[in-house]
Amino acid sequence: MKLYDLIRQNRDQFSDDFVEWLPENMHIFQAFAIEATKIHSRGFKHYSARTIIHVLRHHSAISELNGEWKINNNYSPYLARLFDLAYPHMAGMFEYRTTFKAEQDSIKRYGFANEQNSIY
């Protein structure tokens, strides 16, 4: 299944900002998925998506001619959720908390929040 179909089917789990950011930054998601797969293959049962973001920033800072990638820390939970949806056989390595921005966007979009992502 394509990533955008996964996002559409689970739209309440992603902020509007992340959905707008992703098409121009698929290379970042792909790099995130590669690093997460490496961690999973090493046998880790739990890991931090934010740590992967920091590793990606480090690698891009030393290897990219145009400087490091600009990755908003607020996107790490969405990258983790998308990874779990895209690679269900490796799902569960990341711990989720309520994403308030996704909930606020869902309320603006639909007039209510999905119970799965609710703060109540």
Q: Which domain holds residue 28?
A: 3-111
Amino acid identity, residue 13?
Q
- 118 within domain boundaries: no
Which of 13, 4, 9, 5 is CA-nearest to residue 113?
13
- 10 within domain boundaries: yes
pLDDT digits (tens, 9 = 90+) for 23-48: 999 999 999 999 999 999 999 999 99
- 67 within domain boundaries: yes
How far is 80 from 74, CA to CA, in rounded Å?
A: 11
67: region left, alpha or beta (phi > 0 left; psi from -120 to 50 alpha): left
pLDDT digits (tens, 9 = 90+) for 46-75: 999 999 999 998 888 777 666 556 788 889
Residue 26 burial by Cβ neighbours in a 10 Å radius (0-12, 13-18, 19+): exposed
- 116 within domain boundaries: no
Instruction: Name the helix (H) or strand (E) containing 21.
Output: helix 16-21
Tokens of 72: 């908003």
How far is 83 from 16, CA to CA, in rounded Å?
A: 18
How far is 34 from 16, CA to CA, in rounded Å?
A: 24
pTM confidence score:
0.82
- 117 within domain boundaries: no
**Total domain count for the chain?**
1
- 119 within domain boundaries: no
